[in-house]
Amino acid sequence: MDGEVNLKILMVDAAIKLMPAGVTDVVVVCDTSSVPSPAPTFLFAALKGMVRGYPDRLKALYAAPLGRVLHSVMLMLLPLMPGSLSPKLQLVEQKEEMRAILKDVLRGGE
């Protein structure tokens, strides 16, 4: 798991270097539709890695689509997270909902 989180951090580092002028925030999107879906510990590790490496850059980490079990586990764990992290983790149940959200969040819409 640490290797995958480190890879994502390296990818974000490269993306930040390529950001156009005026773009300052990073949005991370995790596709949780694969079986087995990412463990909550992976999502939290990715979130913490982003906050440690780029504390002023992470706007949000979106995870979708969430199955009922993963969604329930995440809802139980969110209150245990530090107050600076929990608002940045956005749990989305359906891919269609994620597409609508990202149109408003991402530069250029999609």
pLDDT per position as a tens digit, 59-102: 787 888 777 777 787 788 778 777 777 788 888 888 788 888 88
Structure tokens at 34: 């694969």
pLDDT confidence band for 9 (50 / 70 / 90):
confident
Residue 95, Cβ neighbours under 10 Å: how many? Answer: 12
Q: Could you tell me the pTM of the whole model?
A: 0.67
Q: How far is CA 4 from CA 10, 11, 38, 49, in A?
A: 10, 11, 11, 11
